[in-house]
Amino acid sequence: MSNPFPKVIVFTSPYCSWCKRVKSYLQQKRIRFTEVDVTKNSSAARDIVRRTGQQGIPVTLVNNRPVIGFDKSKLDRLLGIR
């Protein structure tokens, strides 16, 4: 892994089961992340749509690179998880 402390932001909502899956995966791999609840932060929701075209969550930014949904292989690649 090039950066041992990647900046990870997970965009979530309280009712989203796949968001819980992403968060528990990151916790289990001991990756620190910041969570943004889009239902409390409309500008964050607009930001996701602008960056990814995606109108849904979870979206994870790993050093600004978006991962849409729970895409384990992409998360692993960007986070250097083997």
What are 49's two structure tokens?
């749509």
Q: Which is nearer to other proteins, 2 or 17 (CB)?
A: 17
Q: Which of 16, 6, 79 has its CA nearest to residue 45?
A: 16
Minimum distance of other proteins from residue 28's CB (angstroms): 6
What are 14's two structure tokens?
């309280």
Residue the block writes with tokens 């998880």: 81
Which positions touch other proteins (CB under 8 A)? 13, 15-21, 28, 38-39, 42, 45, 49, 53-58, 68, 70
Q: Which is nearer to other proteins, 9 or 13 (CB)?
A: 13
- Residue 34 parent element (H or E): strand 34-37
Q: Which is nearer to other proteins, 55 or 64 (CB)?
A: 55
Minimum distance of other proteins from residue 59's CB (angstroms): 10
